[in-house]
Chain A
Amino acid sequence: MAPQLESKTNSIGLDEKKYTGSEILLRSLVEEGVDMIFGYPGGAVLPIYDSLYDGHVRHMLARHEQGAIHAADGYARATGKPGVVMATSGPGATNLVTGIATAMMDSIPLVCITGNVPLSLLGTDAFQEADITGITMPITKHNYLVRSVDEIPIIVKEAFTIAATGRPGPVLIDIPKDVSQAVSTFSYPEKVEIRGLHAPEKPSQIQISRLHQVIQQAQRPVILAGGGVVRANAQSELIEFAEKSNIPVTTTLMGLGGFPSRNPLWLGMPGMHGTYAANHALLECDLLIGIGARFDDRVTMGRIDKFATGAKIIHIDIDPAEIDKNVHTYVPIVGDVKEVLAAANNGLPSADSSNWLSLCDSRKKEYPLQYNDSDENGLKPQWVIEHLDETTDGKAIVATDVGQHQMWVAQYYQFSEPRSLLSSGGLGTMGFGFPAAIGAQLAYPDRTVIAVTGDGGFQMTAQELAVIALENIPVKVVIINNQCLGMVRQWQEVFYKERYSEVDLSGSPDFVKLADAYGVKAWRARNKEEAMQAWKEALSHPGPAVLDFWVNPNENVYPMVAPGTGLDEMMMGDEEQ
């Protein structure tokens, strides 16, 4: 629902036609269709928060700026619309940095608004001054320091345009306090021309014919679908492409949900913790079609010499800089993934892949993801995720932190819809999941939103419990509690001779009591029976919930490919170490 501006008068009683910079900012945001701001006030944004008092746009008061920006990010990932976050100068702005870098790495559209000290004090090391445009230069798609109140509408318009055009990304607008206090008239530009911003190229018909040609010749083709498919909302085009051409699909962490996990052509996730079927398809294929995937080192293991060595590589991506960045491409197709696939589906031939498909199928059956299903020494985390999947039909929005539980979610939750996995894939940011889930839940109040987190990651942004308690946001927080930093412990076990250095998280609070202290209902479970009961109650509880699931701390994520080795050297379980 678009917020309405009812009053033409403003908080400081100026006449109708004149507005303060902060009002101009908010009116510009309303013009952009912003219905939600995530933020935290402070000295340099006092004028903006004063204008917000008039209720132009809904604001979520986080308890830490990092929580605010991850929530804005979760909102953006779930909806596809740019998320908007606001923070004050200095520490407020620097607290956004992790969130900005997180969004940059995963191509998430964000507009970050920071206050700064007045123009006359810029560069004087004034109280709460930080050079946030300088600091965020390498982690934003673009950023602005606003020098005059009259620039505000055009900069806001540009920021939203840049954040959402082509490969999305975060844009930061830094507004000195005197600029948001200055007074001017308001008119919002309908469109802006940004010479240095290039709209995505139209797909080249010649390249698409070449794609058709190589598909026709291929016998062992595979599709590697990445986050670009999700960002471009291209799931149905991808399904049509794969099914018409008879090519199996592996989806990267960022691509999960971009192709339905329950489709028979799906091979699972590839890479470091990928399935046998997916990794061996990448190793042995004669045609690899990368779609909105950037061939990063968690998929290729950085061993290009061992990656798809016998294959022609087709790379479809919106960002020309991704072509030939990590792998050499036989046919590059630059363009919006949805448009390219729609064009490619026209007259798309089928590959001669029936033998290959049955080989892939037999591998899926022979080497499925597996774990020893017992709840003797605590729950099996894999079982927990499977249970979440079964009880939500694979249709919940699941946000994760980073580490073992993230990989188990990726492996065992059967994502069927795009924009349903919210996970920091590129930067790998702990503390991301819970606030991201809040942002997604605010966008979709009626959907089931689960934050799967660990006892480590949860404590990085647990303060946001106050938000879900106060606003009764029904996020379900599932803590995969193994009382340690699981993924680091796993690496220390496997690669550092079991020298467990600083991974013991003893001393963590009782999460049930912690949730209770905030007024959030909570459950603890140590075995399947307790877990099923707790989850059932939590799911039917109309408000927020915290589930403290005690899992077997010795459980490791498998399969695993050791860093520096190729995809052909998969460790399938503990016994192979």
Chain B
Amino acid sequence: MRHIFSVLVNNRPRVLARVSSLLGQRNFNIESISVGKSEEKDLSRMIIVTGGDERTLNQLSKQLSKLIDVIEVKTITETTSVERELMLIRVAAGPNVRMEIQGIIDPFRANVVDVGHDSLMLQATGDRAKLDTLTELLRPYHILEIARTGVIALSREIDKISLTTVI
């Protein structure tokens, strides 16, 4: 079962190392991990995507909480959260296929962010499945490079869930 943890940590050297060391030590799988500033000045937010049964996830959350640099661990439920990932992808594209590629990426709301003689760099955001699909559609054009940020996510404000549409 896929699971997302939102972890508030001290913004100090080596915190990422502490967290990933713990996950390795306790034999937990990590699908992705991303870190950035949070709403509080001295804290960062880490979004960890992992898999495992209920017991494993429970352990993971408790073991993370024991780290002194971890301030708070929350689980994020897929159905009541917004999940995003950013992807940069460079595709081999001579002038003859550029329009064709534009046609593929338009429905994904992806953008061309760099044009070269023989390639295009595209930027796309969305959940993991959307980016995976776009990648597959672009594969026939020969993908030169991909960089993805890993998933970030925030819970929706539950009370307003009925008013919120998926964007």
Contacts and interface: CB of A to CB of B under 8 A. Distances in A.
A319 B66 CA distance: 9
Interface in A286-331: 319-321, 323-325
Interface string B67-103: 1111100000000000000000000000000000000
Contacts of A320: 62, 65
A195 B65 CA distance: 11
Best-buried of A133, A162, A196 by chain B (most CB within 10 Å): A196
Nearest to A196: B68
Interface string A129-140: 000011001100
Contact of A194 (B25, B58, B65, B68): B68
Contacts of B71: 195-196
A141 B63 CA distance: 11
Contact of A321 (B63, B68, B70): B63
A142 interface: yes
Interface string B122-158: 0000000000000000000000000000000000000
Contacts of B59: 321, 324-325
Nearest to B59: A325
A8 interface: no
A119 B108 CA distance: 49
Classify the interface of chain B: helix, strand, loop or mixed. helix
A410 B10 CA distance: 43
B160 interface: no
Interface residues of A, number: 19
Contacts of A17: none
A138 B66 contact: no
Contacts of B62: 320-321, 323
Contact of B18 (A137, A198, A323, A325): A137
Contact of A196 (B21, B55, B58, B70): B70
B21 A137 contact: yes
A196 B25 CA distance: 20
B166 interface: no
Nearest to B61: A321
A138 B22 contact: yes
Interface of B: 10, 13-14, 17-18, 21-22, 25, 55, 58-59, 62-63, 65-71
Given A137-B14, A321-B65, 20 more contacts: A133-B14, A134-B14, A137-B21, A138-B22, A138-B25, A141-B68, A142-B68, A194-B68, A196-B10, A196-B69, A196-B70, A196-B71, A197-B68, A319-B66, A321-B59, A321-B62, A321-B63, A324-B58, A324-B59, A325-B59
20 contacts: A137-B14, A137-B21, A138-B21, A138-B22, A138-B25, A141-B66, A141-B68, A142-B67, A194-B68, A196-B10, A196-B70, A319-B66, A320-B62, A320-B65, A321-B63, A321-B65, A321-B66, A324-B58, A324-B59, A325-B59
